[in-house]
Chain A
Amino acid sequence: MTAIDFNQQAAAHANTVRDNQLSDLADQSLTALTGMPFPTRKTEDWKYTSLTALTKQDYNQSASDFSLPGSLQSLYQVAGLNGPRLVFVNGQLDANQSSLSVVDGLELLLLSGMDGDEKKALVSKLGCVAEVERNLFTAINNAAISECVYLKVGKGIELDSPIQIVHVTTAQPTPATVYGRCFIELEALSQATVVEQFVSTDEELNVVVNQTTEVVVGDGAKLNHYRLNSEHESALHFGGVYVDLNRDSQFESYQVLLGGKIKRLDVLVNHNVGGSHCEMKGVYLPKNNQHVDVHSYIEHKAAHCTTNETYRGIMADKSKAVFNGRIHIHPDAQKTLAELSNKNLLLSNEAQINTKPELEIYADDVRCAHGATVAQLDEKAKFYLRSRGISAQEADIMLSFGFINELFESIPLEPVRNQLRPLLAQQFTSNKELTKHLIHEEDAQ
């Protein structure tokens, strides 16, 4: 099959699914879509991630099979998280799985359930942070909005229970695209924790997931954000997290990306007003033939803002990963403190990492650092473990796990921390004998 005009197909499909009352954003996005080139390896932002898989079949169709293979609970349940939960199956809300407990100060609404005025209000916000021009998948997402989670925390409200938003993908008989959209708004001095989970039920999915989350953190407010991506290996995932930070606000984000056929995450954080802080920690762990691509963009547009960004990756087998982290200090962003670190471990001779930390500085009174390393497991550390009787295989697992866990052992949300520990340890081997010293009895419960 010759390369098809992906953009045209995407636009056509978006047109069939979109909510007609969102016409302005959709029209604008559709126009942009038709004018956008389809990314190739010559497109800087997609240099190491080939999208030819998207042109071999027509993925721009709606999902048709919503049947579930059984209980989904085990896929998304995080012991100890008992707050509001929204579960989407192939982009549609599954009311039975969801739990919409009423929480003071929290508005948790769905676009499909809104009246005209509510819709109008939300429409005026959508696309403010996730700009149409950002990239092809944001444009498609903007054009195709038919459903959206709107999460708003009122002024001064500090929510105790984390909010879980789960995206489940199931196998489709014909290629399909599933859209997801979320808009999170924290009013001044509020605090909330949002856990976004991406899971799947089947080995062979035949699905492109295109999900965009927009976040506006008000003055003095703080969002604790988790994005846990553990879809099956056949997943084609294009995710975006777009954040606006206002005065003295904070965004703290932990991201986990297990590999897929293609998994791409774009994270944009705008420090719009002074005093904001961004703390971002992420890991990507591709294996087999998987591919993961993380692009982060931190825009320091105002003075006295800080960023602490750390990503780590472990690439096994023939997998490939891409990390591109850009911190852009605008002329007015004096007194910025920004750090970006990216460390990588290659577990095999055939694994690949392309890392590019970038600093672009247009202010003269800032302190910024960035760095990237690529290494193999530390032979000295391995010898140390083996000299204590630990087998070479278990030593490898311990060292790999430690490399990731060093970032994640400080996760403030205990249920997520406990959930991730076995998930991450088992990522390196399915042999439970080799992970038994890393997974504690209390985690396994």
Chain B
Amino acid sequence: MLTIKNLQAKVEEKDILKGLNIEIKPGEVHAIMGPNGAGKSTLGNVLSGREGYEVTGGHVDFDGKDLLDMDTEERAREGLFLAFQYPVEIPGVSNLEFLKASVDAVREHRGQEPLDSVSFLKLAREKCKAVNLDQNFLKRGVNEGFSGGEKKRNEIMQMMLLEPKLCILDETDSGLDIDALQVVAEGVNSQRDPNRSFIVVTHYQRLLDYIVPDYVHVLADGKIVKSGGKELALELEEKGYSWIENEVQ
């Protein structure tokens, strides 16, 4: 599904990713943990093609295609989904208009017919319900005035509508209370599928109690310094990131 080889990237002339390798097979859930400043969010941004993140080396293969050669929107249409740590508010454009534009673009790329407004509204309402968001959120501006939890649920709803191959959850747990965390995790778990993979980027082990990963990687100073099973997350929680940093040195 996704093969990252020796990925190097810089932001504003500062090297952030310094040779990152990772291999993700269909259906797998990989957690990426690491201390602040390790490059966790940079990874998500680089994989989605955000401007200002310059790839200086390496290769990323996404389902047989060169991911780094595509524009942001092409990556999304190919099935890459980034759930934002801080979803952006766009007043004046309704959530429904935004979702329809997004789903239309992805469906067109897949050679599917666009959904008519009525069918789409029905589908969007279903997904709202699935993440416990009131239908009124469809009429409001994109993320406008949403609470932290509502924004994250809106992200998961988008994921459900777009049915991506690979989902990157960028610190989706930040700013969530335990109830919201559970709703979000349930939403994610409902999307787990033998053909869909996840990269769960998080600072804390807590999220991984709810979204149980197959693999855990520790990212420090722009590289994966340790990989293991889900028990690695517990060990990290117990011993702290300094343990890894010491061990690596």
- Is B a genuine binding partner of A? yes
Instruction: Using CB atoms and an 8 Å cutoff, list the residues of chain A in contact with chain B.
Output: 378-381, 383-392, 394, 398-399, 401-407, 409, 437-438, 440-441
For B144, give the chain A residue with the smallest CB separation.
A406
- In the bound assembly, the distance between CA atoms of A437 and B101 in angstroms comes to 6
A405 B72 Cβ-Cβ under 8 A: no
Interface residues of B in 85-129 (CB under 8 A from A): 87-88, 90-93, 97-98, 100-102, 104-106, 109, 117
Q: How far is the CB of B84 from chain A (nearest CB, A)?
A: 7
Query: Which one of A383, A394, A441 contacts B50 once the chains associate, using CB atoms below 8 Å?
Result: A383
Is B162 engaged at the interface, CB distance under 8 Å to the other chain?
A: yes
B109 A398 Cβ-Cβ under 8 A: no
B90 A388 Cβ-Cβ under 8 A: no
Q: Which residues of B contact A389 (CB under 8 A)?
A: 73, 76-77, 102, 105-106, 109, 162
- In the bound assembly, the distance between CA atoms of A246 and B22 in angstroms comes to 72
Query: Which one of B50, B52, B102 contacts A388 once the chains associate, using CB atoms below 8 Å?
Result: B102
A401 B48 Cβ-Cβ under 8 A: no
Q: Which residues of A contact B92 (CB under 8 A)?
A: 401-407, 409
A392-B73 contact, Cβ under 8 Å, with A405-B92, A406-B91: yes
- In the bound assembly, the distance between CA atoms of A392 and B101 in angstroms comes to 12
For B109, give the chain A residue with the smallest CB separation.
A389
Q: How far is the CB of A400 from chain B (nearest CB, A)?
A: 9
Q: How far is the CB of B150 from chain A (nearest CB, A)?
A: 16
Interface residues of B in 159-211 (CB under 8 A from A): 162
Q: Which residues of B contact A385 (CB under 8 A)?
A: 90, 98, 101-102
Query: Which one of A378, A387, A399, A407 contacts B82 once the chains associate, using CB atoms below 8 Å?
Result: A387
How many chain B residues touch A (Cβ–Cβ < 8 Å)? 32
Q: How far is the CB of A3 from chain B (nearest CB, A)?
A: 44
Query: Which one of B82, B84, B97 contacts A437 once the chains associate, using CB atoms below 8 Å?
Result: B97
Interface residues of B in 39-64 (CB under 8 A from A): 48, 50-52
A390 B93 Cβ-Cβ under 8 A: no
A398-B98 contact, Cβ under 8 Å, with A378-B88, A381-B88, A388-B158: yes
**A-B contacts, 24 listed (Cβ < 8 Å):** A381-B90, A383-B50, A384-B88, A385-B98, A385-B101, A386-B72, A386-B76, A387-B82, A388-B98, A388-B162, A389-B77, A390-B102, A390-B105, A391-B105, A394-B105, A398-B101, A399-B90, A401-B93, A402-B91, A402-B92, A402-B93, A402-B141, A407-B92, A438-B97
Is B214 engaged at the interface, CB distance under 8 Å to the other chain?
A: no
Is B71 engaged at the interface, CB distance under 8 Å to the other chain?
A: yes
B82 A402 Cβ-Cβ under 8 A: no
Interface of B is mostly: helix
Instruction: Using CB atoms and an 8 Å cutoff, list the residues of chain B in contact with chain A.
Output: 48, 50-52, 71-73, 75-77, 81-82, 84, 87-88, 90-93, 97-98, 100-102, 104-106, 109, 117, 141, 158, 162
Q: What would 18 more interface pairs be, CB under 8 Å, given A386-B72, A387-B82, A387-B84?
A: A381-B90, A383-B51, A385-B102, A387-B73, A388-B76, A388-B158, A388-B162, A389-B102, A389-B109, A391-B73, A391-B105, A394-B105, A398-B101, A401-B92, A401-B93, A402-B92, A409-B92, A441-B117
For A402, give the chain B residue with the smallest CB separation.
B92
Q: Which residues of A contact B90 (CB under 8 A)?
A: 381, 384-385, 398-399, 402
Q: How far is the CB of A157 from chain B (nearest CB, A)?
A: 35
Q: How far is the CB of B189 from chain A (nearest CB, A)?
A: 22
A387 B76 Cβ-Cβ under 8 A: yes
Q: Which residues of B contact A378 (CB under 8 A)?
A: 88
Q: Which residues of B contact A406 (CB under 8 A)?
A: 91-92, 141
Query: Which one of A379, A384, A402, A440 contacts B51 once the chains associate, using CB atoms below 8 Å?
Result: A379
Q: Which residues of A contact B81 (CB under 8 A)?
A: 387
A383-B101 contact, Cβ under 8 Å, with A402-B90, A402-B93: no
